[in-house]
Amino acid sequence: MYRLAVYHNCSDMRINLILFGPPGSGKGTQAAKLVEKYGLLHISTGDLFRYEMGNDTPLGQEAKSYIAKGELVPDSVTIGMLRNKVEANPDVPGYIFDGFPRTIPQCEALDALLADMDESISRLIMLDVPDKEIVERILNRGITSGRSDDLDQAIIQNRIDVYKNETTPVFDYYAAKGKSVKVAGVGSIEDIFIRLCSEIDVL
């Protein structure tokens, strides 16, 4: 009943979210909770690549050919995978895009894909977590994860810097459209979730 209410309150428009968060921000945990509450489809580009390449689809084969040459997979291939996923799930009340877009051309490609469906991005939500907190979280995770990169503070900081460099232009792109917001990503899982929901429920 709740999911239907959300859907109709939005004038039958889907809730299309871009969810950003630095490594260690708990983005995956929050995405899962949003899926459960709103019935949204979580679309991770990493999962898409693994599926398409693992099933040796035409797009997967194309991606492999670029990777084998040590080249970046073109945006056209990635957006093709996104289009396949979206078109295969036409009845969901919306999507959470995770890991895409990362550049302005990718923003434009995603906007064009949604425009073909007479839709658009509803909101870009960034989980805002101080660097110091992120470093502490990942170092603590490294104690049990067994990953050496989770125990190297220089590597962790580099990952944070890469995230910021990638996401800042995308955040600004949607901010210019009045669609970007930052949500404090500190506190309990439930507190952060409530903040995210408060941004979604007004859409």
Q: 131: domain CATH number? A: 3.40.50.300
Active site residue 123: no
Active site residue 85: no
Question: What would the two tokens of residue 18 be?
Answer: 């871009």
Q: Count structural domains, the chain.
A: 1
What pLDDT digit, counting tens, does each position of 183-193 carry? 999 999 999 99
Out of 14, 102, 123, 179, the active site residue is 102
Q: State the pLDDT at residue 12.
A: 58
In a domain, 31, yes or no: yes
In the 8-state DSSP scheme, what is residue 26? -
Out of 123, 159, 179, 195, the active site residue is 159
As beta bridge partners, residue 124 has 18, 180
Q: What is the pTM of this model?
A: 0.86
SS3 182: strand
In a domain, 53, yes or no: no
Q: Assess contact for 158 and 149: CB atoms under 8 A.
A: no
Active site residue 50: no
Out of 3, 37, 83, 141, the active site residue is 141
Position 173 pLDDT exceeds 70: yes
What pLDDT digit, counting tens, does each position of 30-77 carry? 999 999 999 999 999 889 999 999 999 999 999 999 999 999 899 999
Active site residue 141: yes
Active site residue 102: yes
In a domain, 70, yes or no: no
Helix intervals (H) in the chain? 2-9, 27-38, 45-54, 58-68, 75-87, 104-115, 131-145, 153-175, 189-200
Mean of the per-residue pLDDT values of the chain: 90
What pLDDT digit, counting tens, does each position of 10-33 carry? 345 899 999 999 989 999 999 999
Full residue range of the structural domain in which residue 29 is found: 2-40+92-200
Q: State the pLDDT at residue 145.
A: 84
In a domain, 45, yes or no: no
Contacts of 37 (CB under 8 A, 6+ apart): 2, 3, 197
Q: Assess contact for 85 and 48: CB atoms under 8 A.
A: yes
CB atoms within 10 A of CB 67: 13
Give the CA angle between residues 159, 165, 170 to the nearest 5°: 125
Out of 14, 27, 123, 195, the active site residue is 27
